[in-house]
Chain A
Amino acid sequence: MAEYSVLIGGKAGDGISQAGQVIGSVFSSLGYHVYQYVDYPSLIRGGHNFCIIRAAETPVTAFRSGADVIIAFDQQTADLHKGRLSDDGIVIFDADRVRAHGQGISLGQIISTRQGEPIMGNTAMISALFRYLGVPWEKVEPVLQRKIPKKIEKNIEIARAAWDVLTPGKTLKLPGGDSKPFLSGNEWIGIGLLAGGLDAYIAYPMTPSSGILHFLASIAEETGIQVYHPESEIAVILMALGFSYAGKKAAVGTSGGGFCLMTEGVSLAGQAEIPIVIVVSQRTGPSTGLPTYTAQSDLLFIRHAGQGEFPRWIAAPATPYEALFLAAEAVRIAWKFQIPAFIVTDKSFSEGLFTGPSLLPDLPPHRVSAPAFPYHRYEDMPDGISPLLSPPHPGEIVKVNSYTHDFKGITTEDPHLTTTMADKRKRKAMALLEYIDQSESVLIEGDKKAPVCVIAWGSVRGQVTEVTKMHSFRAVFPRILEPFPINTMTAALEGVTRVIVVEESATGQIDTILRQHGIVPNECIRRYDGRPSTVEELENRIRRVL
């Protein structure tokens, strides 16, 4: 099976990530599945940015230690990453700025003789890459035409000039087939929210979740949704609850620190039974931590955030399909059960780019019961779910309340009513558990009969999936983490005698949740330096404990 890894690096502000995206799009147009990892420090200009674009004939959501080609815009890229170069790998570099073995092109000369702009060096390098890989010009040019946002003619002229300088060194396999959508995890989540019927998205910028805000804002006009960026995350969640009360499906997105500010609103949603979707993309903490690096260390916080006791739903996608499906399901679940529904992801998934499905998953509508009149917002129903109604409704009033309240939504301190309303929320939690504890909630991969099992969630699943192809073990991936699908997990673990847990946390958070449910891991593989493991790094660590 053919696969190629390309590392492209330079300074922040050089447009490395965008260049990587065009490279990925060319691979996608050739019929490859593509994953792109983006690594950058928290600054605007300078520093060292790099992307790894991996193209393979089957879907991949992780990257390897090695690179077949390194594209170096600066010396740092060539020096820092030379150890990654595979035996027959090559460095393609800007000969004006970098000294390395490989093929150099003078970007300055190519651009200045054509009166281009420095940023067009990216186009030159992309062109040089595919020339080196032996891809016909006719296959590359149309993608450049589509993907370069402005001054296309000049860019194509520069691409052609770089093309003529390079000597082909490979003959890339051309698998053929349709070009697949190539989008970031954040964008896949955004599309999923839209598919679920989202009407409004409210957010305050915070890495690594801002991509959802930017993406949805850019398509607000054509989709008819409202996208708003207010003064703080506190305003964000309360505005969203206002939208929801008024009958619009609203979602918010943030990362750890922003979510801290939202927690009072989360509890309000729990008490007042107002539906809301909350996307939290984790980064390395505590506090400001490493803003542009990854972690899985907010799961227990999100699971417990907010005072008091109320049901919530937490899902963690690891593939574009799951992002589509689970984000759509988050909207549907939030409005069916009138609870906060969370999509918990991380920097690796949010800002990584993935080719994914070009068709939406089938989403049969949920059954919800119609309101009876006179309307009481908190009508006591057998499953604890009171019918929703939004104002204005002729002759009816809709009262929601953050205080303990009666069936009409009027404040009460009555002990009997307090118990009744808590029991109502508990019945809702039971109905939710019953709904989620089925096969879709847990994915089993690898050798499904093997006695050794690796449990992982979220983006680290990408590496685990690949390691299952090298060693014989069972991989069990919970997609729904709250309520915990205990029966489905127990069934998935039947015959397992040894459990290994892989997670990006220093103290073991999924480990804690598993133990709470009687699943006791034998080995824990933890990483907490903010960097996702490469396939080889994880293989090495799993092999040692198998």
Chain B
Amino acid sequence: MSPNGTIVSDAKNTWCPGCGNFAIQHAFRYVIEEFEKEGIPKERFVLVSGIGCHAKIADYFSLNSFYSLHGRTIPVATGIKMANPDLKVVCFAGDGDLYAEGLDHLIHAAKRNIDITVICHNNRVYGLTTGQYTPTSPYGYRGRSTPGGIHEYPLNIIEVMLGSGASFVARAYSRNIPLLKRIFHEAILHRGFAHIDVLQICATFFNMTSFYDEHVYETSEANVSQFDVACRTGQQWNYSDHGPIPLGIFYKTERPSLPEKREERTIDRKKVIQDILIRNS
């Protein structure tokens, strides 16, 4: 517990005023406190962050954390979860971090259905490195590395996740805090790989507040287990053009997940090694 009596640490917060990260931090803090009331102590949570503005969240919570490398939250989280399945492992990643540098890990984590939660702070721009385009920046985006505008369409990460086998796919928005709280809570309880793409604005480099406010809506979750419905919902917005931007849990299903249940056994390591040596004589 930090000196201020909450799970927020006393580290100095350096996010820009108006940053969407504050909303994510606030909602997550609420969810952890709810879990504590439900009997899951906070030391059972481990936060894994990448590198970027989002990642400072590791410092800002008085919780177990592994502040890792750019793009590498998922393999670290996978190792932690496989080492100790009792831990609740949550990745905080950025869109440059998760969808560019570390995209292979994201796809493979979905494929293997590792029981972790991945929260992407998707502001569709690099903040710490000052405003370059990311895989979810819109067509024509001009940044310091692409002054002429980019000639490629963004990844529709919802489609990528559905196509990779993710068993929990959701989109949230930093200005809809009740939805953030509900999705975080459900994602952490989900047995298997849960991915949440959180649309957030970058107050300094890519402020999309009015665009998002105008286009977002909460989609129905009545058919949340139907893959084709999820695909259609995901295709309503391509991260570039205008169009309705659905929010909510798009897809949720149960399938075999990692880590598999391991029975606790006491093994005499020395004896096993001796047996192996004899067998190979």
A interface, CB within 8 angstroms of B: 28-29, 178-183, 187, 191, 194-195, 197, 199-200, 202, 219, 222-224, 226, 228, 230-232, 234-236, 238-248, 250, 264-265, 268, 272, 358-360, 390-403, 405, 409-411
B272 at the A interface (CB under 8 A): yes
B129 proximal to A (CB < 8 A): no
Judge whether A393 and B43 touch: CB under 8 Å.
yes
Q: A246-B80, A272-B67 are in contact. List 8 more A-B contacts (CB 8 A).
A: A29-B281, A182-B280, A194-B269, A238-B72, A242-B81, A248-B83, A358-B274, A397-B43
Q: How far apart are A424's CB and chain B's nearest CB, in angstroms? A: 18
B16-54 with Cβ < 8 A to chain A = 41, 43-44, 46, 48, 51
Q: Do residues A239 and B78 form an inter-chain contact, with CB atoms below 8 A?
A: yes
Q: Complex formed: what's the CA distance from A231 to B58 in Å? A: 26
- Where chain A touches its partner, the secondary structure class is mixed
Are B75 and A238 neighbours in the complex by a CB distance under 8 Å?
Answer: yes
Main SS at interface, chain B: helix
Known: A223-B269, A246-B84, A360-B274. A396 touches B43 (CB 8 A): yes
Known A182-B281, A360-B273; judge A394-B41 contact (CB<8 A): yes
Chain B positions 252 through 269: 1 when the CB is less than 8 Å from some CB of chain A, otherwise 0 = 000000000000010101
Q: For B72, what are the chain A residues with a Cβ–Cβ distance below 8 Å?
A: 234, 238, 264-265
Quick one: which of A240, A391, A409, A410 contacts B79, CB cutoff 8 A?
Answer: A240
Using an 8 Å CB-CB cutoff, how does the interface string of B174-194 with A read, 1 for contact, 0 for none?
Answer: 000000000000000000000
CB <8 Å contact, A239 and B76: yes
B281: contacting residue among A181, A195, A250, CB under 8 A: A181
Of the residues A28, A178, A236, A402, contact of B69 by C-beta under 8 Å: A402
**Inter-chain contact A411/B75, CB cutoff 8 Å:** no
CA distance A180 to B281 in the complex (A): 5
Minimum-distance CB pairs A-B, first 10: A242-B79, A246-B83, A238-B75, A239-B79, A392-B43, A235-B75, A401-B67, A242-B80, A391-B64, A248-B83
Bound-complex Cα distance A378 to B62 (A): 15
User: Can you list 10 A-B contacts (CB < 8 A)?
Assistant: A181-B278, A181-B280, A194-B272, A391-B46, A392-B87, A394-B43, A395-B1, A398-B64, A401-B58, A410-B9
- The answer to whether A231 and B78 touch across the interface, beta carbons within 8 angstroms, is no
Known: A238-B68, A397-B43. A392 touches B82 (CB 8 A): no
Question: Would you give the shortest CB distance from B199 to chain A, in whole angstroms?
Answer: 26
User: B208 contacts the other chain (Cβ, under 8 Å)?
Assistant: no
Indicate if B201 sits at the interface (CB-CB under 8 A).
no
Q: Which A residues are CB-close (under 8 A) to B76? A: 238-239, 241-242, 245
Is B95 interfacial (CB 8 A cutoff)?
no
The yes or no answer to B276 lying at the interface (CB within 8 A) is yes
CA distance A358 to B87 in the complex (A): 39
Report which of A178, A222, A231, A359 forms a contact with B108, defined as CB distance below 8 A: A231
Nearest residue (CB) in B for A191 is B273
Number of A-B contacts (CB under 8 A): 178
Report how many residues on chain B are interfacial, defined by Cβ distance under 8 Å: 50
Q: A residues within 8 A CB of B273?
A: 191, 194-195, 223, 360
CB pair B281–A358 under 8 Å, yes or no, is: yes
With a cutoff of 8 Å between Cβ atoms, the chain A residues found around residue B9 in the complex are: 410
Find out whether the CB atom of B77 lies under 8 angstroms from the CB atom of A242.
yes
Q: In the complex, which residues of chain B have a beta carbon less than 8 angstroms from the beta carbon of A359?
A: 274, 277
Give the docked Cα–Cα distance between A265 and B66 (Å): 13
Query: Which residue in B64, B104, B272, B277 is a CB contact (below 8 Å) of A223?
Result: B272
Whole-angstrom CA separation of A268 from B48 in the bound complex: 14
Q: Which residues of A contact B84 (CB under 8 A)?
A: 246-248, 390-392
Is the CB of B270 closer than 8 A to any CB of chain A? yes
Question: Is the CB–CB distance between B64 and A399 below 8 Å?
Answer: yes
B119 at the interface (CB under 8 A from A): no
C-alpha gap A272/B65 in the complex (Å): 12
B11 at the interface (CB under 8 A from A): yes
Q: Is the CB of A181 within 8 A of B277?
A: yes
In the complex the two chains form, what is the Cα distance from A474 to B20 in whole Å?
69
Decide if B98 is an interface residue (CB 8 Å cutoff): no
* Known contacts A191-B273, A195-B273, A398-B64; is-contact A247 B83 (Cβ 8 Å): yes
- B59 touches A (CB below 8 Å): yes
A243 touches B68 (CB 8 A): no
Q: Which residues of chain A come closer than 8 Å to B86, judged between CB atoms?
A: 392
| CB contact under 8 A between A230 and B78, given known A181-B280, A182-B281 | yes
A86 to B38, CA, bound (A): 79
How many Å lie between the Cα of A5 and that of B41 in the bound state?
Answer: 65
Residue of B nearest to A187 (CB): B280
A126 to B199, CA, bound (A): 68
- The residue on A at minimum CB distance from B276 is A219
Asked if B63 is an interface residue, CB under 8 A from chain A, the answer is yes
Q: Which residues of A contact B74 (CB under 8 A)?
A: 235
Given contacts A246-B87, A410-B11, contact A179 B108 (CB under 8 A): no
Task: Tell whether, in the assembled complex, residue A202 and residue B79 are in contact, meaning their CB atoms are under 8 Å apart.
Answer: yes
Q: Which B residues lie within 8 Å of A222 (CB)?
A: 267, 272, 275-276
CB distance from A275 to the nearest CB of B (A): 13
Task: From B56, B63, B68, B69, give the contact of A397 (CB < 8 A).
Answer: B63
